[in-house]
């Protein structure tokens, strides 16, 4: 296992145009191995655009994106596919295949990439479902039969199917009740500990940012205006950040322990 802390994603001077409007104007961002990076920004600031550009769903105009040592701008389709299978993506609405049941959804990437025996494929899929806190019987349920929280969990199990090194999460706790959201945060921390996974998480959930993120990056005006730990965010003098972290919805006397500040307490 490579050293913790070295960057797995390096974004340099990235520029993306969207319908003749420049959305990202020189973004520099690192995701380090083994960390959970929270990614915040106003609605419409281009968070989704950046995420979708990194995972290759949108073309970019200038700059470089390097993922796990591969320059995505220059990679051949084969190299690209090799990178594709080393990351997992959790879409906001889950994006489960509605014609397959949960188990087959999780098995899909395993079946396509690893060609294991059917028995082992099923066993791994069930193990993944159990890892994200679901009962084995969910295997047979179709997405339309699942609640919102369960859909997210199944989608997470699918994103984790190939034991990826990087996990992209798009607002994973949106639409979940606070209890489920807290469970999701714990799940994420457990996965970080057990699998040593690096996580890139777009979120608006302040509790989630406090609980899970090692670092936070802030996008505004097409650039990363601040990146650092929660303490850095809380001390920042940038007006948007001030209203974000000290505004009406934020509570300065957090009941949620900030990750890294009282590490021992959480791990106890």
Partner 1 sequence: MAGDRPLARHWGLFGDETADFGSDFLTAGTLQHGSSHGDGLDLRAEGHWTAEHARALEPLADKLTYGHESVTRLVFDATRITQLDTYGAWLIERTLRIWASRGADVRLIGLPPTYGNLFAKVRAGQQKLTPLKHKQTGIGATLESVGRTMTAVFSDLFTIFQIGGQLVVAFLSVCANPWRFRFTSLINHLERVCWHAVPIIILITFLIGAIIAQQGIFHFRTFGADIYVVDMVGVLVLRELGVLIVCIMIAGRSGSAYTAELGSMKMREEVDALRTMGFDPVEVLVLPRILALIVAVPILTFIGSMAALYGGGLVSWLYGGIDPKIFMSRLHESINMKTFAVGMIKAPFMALIIGLVACMEGMQVKGSAESLGAKTTDSVVKSIFLVIVIDGLFAVFFAAVGI
Could you give the CA distance from residue 164 to residue 190 in angstroms, rounded to a whole number?
15
**What are the CA-CA distances from residue 196 to residues 1, 133, 169, 254 (Å)?**
9, 18, 16, 27
The reply to whether 195 sits near partner 1 by the rule CB under 8 A is yes
User: Where does this chain touch partner 1 (CB under 8 A) — which range of 10-18, 38-46, 132-140, 233-241?
Assistant: 132-140
Residue among 4, 22, 61, 140 that touches partner 1 (CB under 8 A): 140
Is there a contact between 233 and 38 (Cβ–Cβ < 8 Å)?
Answer: no
**Smallest distance, Å, CB 162 to partner 1?**
6
* Binding region for partner 1 (CB under 8 A) out of 12-20, 56-64, 121-129, 255-263: 121-129
Least distance in angstroms from the C-beta of 71 to partner 1: 12
In sequence order, what are the beta bridge partners of 202? 39, 170
| Pick 125 or 216: Cβ nearer partner 1 | 125
Asked if 112 is part of the footprint of partner 1 (rule: CB under 8 A), the reply reads: no
Beta strand 215-220 with 223-228: parallel, antiparallel or unpaired?
A: antiparallel
- Strand 21-32 and strand 166-170: pairing? unpaired
Nearest one of 91, 18, 33 to 67, comparing CA atoms: 33
76 in contact with partner 1 (CB under 8 A): no
Strand pairing report for 21-32 and 7-18: antiparallel
Examine residue 6 and tell whether it contacts partner 1 (CB under 8 A). Answer: yes
Question: With contact defined as beta carbons under 8 Å apart, do 158 and 182 qualify?
Answer: no
Q: In degrees, to the nearest 5, what angle opens at C-alpha 237 toward C-alphas 50 and 229?
A: 55
Closest to partner 1 by CB, 140 vs 249, is 140
Nearer to partner 1, 128 or 210 (CB): 128
Candidates 20, 43, 76, 117: give the one binding partner 1 (CB under 8 A): 117
Specify the stretch interacting with partner 1 by CB under 8 A; choose among 77-85, 168-176, 201-209, 241-249.
77-85
Please tell me the distance from the alpha carbon of residue 31 to that of residue 227, in angstroms, as a whole number.
11
Question: How many Cα atoms are found within 13 Å in the side-chain-facing hemisphere of 94?
Answer: 22
Complex with partner 1: residue 51 or 101, whichever CB lies closer: 101
The residue among 131 and 256 lying less far from partner 1, judged by its C-beta, is 131
Signed CA dihedral, 79, 69, 3, 85: sign only: negative
194 binds partner 1 per the rule CB under 8 A: yes
| Residue 246 interacts with partner 1 (CB under 8 A): yes or no | no
Among 57, 73, 82, 247, binds partner 1 (CB under 8 A): 82
Site residues (vs partner 1, CB under 8 A): 1-2, 6, 8, 68-70, 78-79, 81-83, 86, 98-99, 113-117, 120, 123-124, 126-128, 130-131, 136-137, 139-140, 142-145, 160, 162-163, 165, 190, 193-195
């Amino acid at each position: 296992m490579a050293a913790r802390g070295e960057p797995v994603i390096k974004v340099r001077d990235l520029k993306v145009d969207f319908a003749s409007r420049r959305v990202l104007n020189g973004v520099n961002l690192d995701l380090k191995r083994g960390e959970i990076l929270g990614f915040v920004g106003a609605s419409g600031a281009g968070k989704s655009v950046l995420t979708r550009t990194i995972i290759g769903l949108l073309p970019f105009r200038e700059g470089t994106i390097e993922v796990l040592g591969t320059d995505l701008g220059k990679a051949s389709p084969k190299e690209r596919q090799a990178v594709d299978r080393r990351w997992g993506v959790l879409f906001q609405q889950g994006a489960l295949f509605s014609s397959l049941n949960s188990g087959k959804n999780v098995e899909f990437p395993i079946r396509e990439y690893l060609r294991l025996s059917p028995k082992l494929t099923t066993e791994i899929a069930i193990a993944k479902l159990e890892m994200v806190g679901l009962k084995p019987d969910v295997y047979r349920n179709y997405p339309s039969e699942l609640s919102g929280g369960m859909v997210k969990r199944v989608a997470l199990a699918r994103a984790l199917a190939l034991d990826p090194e990087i996990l992209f999460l798009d607002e994973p706790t949106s639409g979940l009740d606070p209890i489920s959201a807290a469970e999701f945060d714990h799940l994420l921390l457990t996965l970080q500990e057990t699998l040593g996974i690096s996580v890139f998480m777009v979120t608006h959930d302040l509790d989630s940012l406090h609980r899970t993120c090692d670092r936070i990056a802030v996008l505004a005006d097409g650039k990363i205006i601040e990146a650092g730990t929660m303490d850095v965010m809380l001390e920042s003098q940038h007006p948007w950040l001030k209203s974000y972290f000290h505004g009406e919805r934020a509570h300065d006397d957090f009941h949620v322990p900030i990750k890294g500040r009282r590490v021992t307490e959480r791990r106890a």
